[in-house]
Each structure stands twice: as structure tokens, then as C-alpha cells.
Amino acid sequence: MHIGSIILSHPTVLAPLAGITDLPFRLVVKRLGCGMVCSEMISANGLVRGSQKTRAMLDTVAEEFPLSIQLFGADPAVMADAAAQAAACGAAVIDINFGCSVKKVVKTGAGAALMREPQRARAILRTVRMAVAAPVTIKIRSGWDASGDQALEIARIAEEEGVDGLCVHPRTATQGFSGKADWQLITRIKKALHIPVIGNGDIVGADDALSMMEQTRCDAVMVGRAAMGNPWIFGQIHRRLRAEPIIPVSLSDRQDLMIAYVRAVCGYRGESHGCRMLRSRLGWFSRGMRNGAAFREAIRHLETEAQAIDLIRSVL
């Protein structure tokens, strides 16, 4: 699959997840075969104002190429400036968020609010497209009602303005993650456009990804929440696309990945900060395991990297 000049090794994409898809987690997913990883949603205003905390969210390494950096904002000039900064820091793809329906984002005119302002959306896409040579994509929802008409309008504007691809999460802005994703909207948008379309929503396992691609003819699938507890899902999807059986994840494989993740988080965040984050994050990988509940209880007061590794080896 191509997104502009970027070639994806596999038609799978890690969704941008706030507070989750930082550099250590993206590397875990990339090493397990994901075609393209995405950053957390990053404030364009924060980058332009020089926030060091926001700037740190652009951290990347060559191993995770191609990285998509997702930006949100409502001012065309600010978005263009932020996109240029992201590209200079190593983003292979610039993604613009048109789907976040969190109140504090929408009230600034960003995220899903842009789906109600097609002319502002067009201005943002035009200025960003002019500011960077890297491929540009967008992520949209159905819009503010279930008809999908707003999604189709924004998708057509995006193609007209030279956007290289888009991702469709076919839930309305007011649904959040509730209800069922309307995959028919992905089909509708795919038929209307010539640029690549990535499908997103209700992919819990590899068979769901296969069904979405067969039903909608989308070019790739994006996986978000399901990857938190099962980062192996990307490799499992690739095997299903090749009509190969899925290989169960062994306990030793799970432990090895968790230990590597602990070391990566502590190395990147520092041991103290990293362990505070791992108190919740390590629990993702233990869902469904025989001693998972005991493990999640044991890590609630995690203090050191060595303690985390010992618990992984002794409790699970």
C-alpha cells in the first residue's frame, strides 16, 4: 500500500491513542509487524508556542519508520507551522485530526468540530499541503449525525486539496466508542475517492480486519484499543490475509515482550516516572491470563524496573 511516496510493508496502521501511543509503545507494535504507527494526537498550538512537553511528543527513531504524526488545531497558519515542525523532526506522514469529539478539543474549533466547517477544513488542508512535502492524511468520523454526509463532503474536499489518504472511523461525533461502527460508510467513501482509504472501528481480532477489508474494499485497516492488550494483532492480521493460521502467543513470548516494554519505558521516561506509568500500562498485556488479576494488583505500587521484571517472571 502507498500513501503518497510512502510504502507500507503491510496494510495495517496503529491508531493514534492519547496517552498511549508514545515512542516505547509504538516500537513494540512496529516490531510485531505493524505497517505504520501513529503518534498521540498533538496540539499544533502547543508546538507553535514552544511547549517542551508537546515538542517531546515528536520524538522518533529510525526503527519506527514510517511514523505518522497526528496534529489537531483550528487555525490554518498554526497548523501549517506545526506540520512543518513535525516533518522536520522525522514524521513520514502528517495526519490531521477531524474526528476527536472530546469537549475541550471541539470547543476550540478543532477535531470533529471541523466536520461542521468545510471551508475552514479546506483552508487548513490547503495550507498544510503547501507547507510540507511529506504525504498528508486525515482521520474523520461519520460527522455529527448518522447520515455520513459530512464525512463524504470532508473526504471529497481532502482529495481536492491534494491529501494523500484518509482514515474513516464510522461513528458519529456524539457516539464516542459506543454503539456499532457503520462499515457501510467506509464502503461509500471508498467508492467516491481515488486516494487510499483506511478503515477503522470495531476491529477486535484479525478476523474482523479481514471482514472489513472484504466488505468495504478499504486499502488498509487501523487498529486502536484492541492493540493495547494484544499488540500481536497486527501480525495475526497479516497471517489471516495470507490465509495462514494464527499462531497462539506463548507465555514466554508475552513475558519477553513485557520485559522489553518495561525497559523501554524506563529508559525513555526515567525509572520513577516510567514505573508510575507502568502501574496501569503493564496490566494491558495480562488481560485474559490465568494470574492476570493478581499481577495487576501486584503492580499497583510499582517502584523500580527490577521489581516490574521480577513480577512479570514470578506472578504470570
Catalytic residue numbers? 100
- Quick check: 78 and 86 in contact, CB under 8 A? no
Q: Which has the closest alpha carbon to 83: 129, 41, 52?
A: 129
Distance CA 201, CA 208 (A): 10
Distance CA 110, CA 22 (A): 22
Q: How many CB atoms lie within 10 A of CB 285?
A: 23
Distance CA 55, CA 71 (A): 12
- Say which DSSP state 172 is in: E
Residue 165's DSSP bridge partners are: 137
Residue 198's DSSP bridge partners are: 167, 220
- Quick check: 159 and 194 in contact, CB under 8 A? yes
Q: Which has the closest alpha carbon to 195: 170, 164, 154, 152?
A: 164
* AA letter at 128: V
Q: Which has the closest alpha carbon to 29: 15, 8, 41?
A: 15
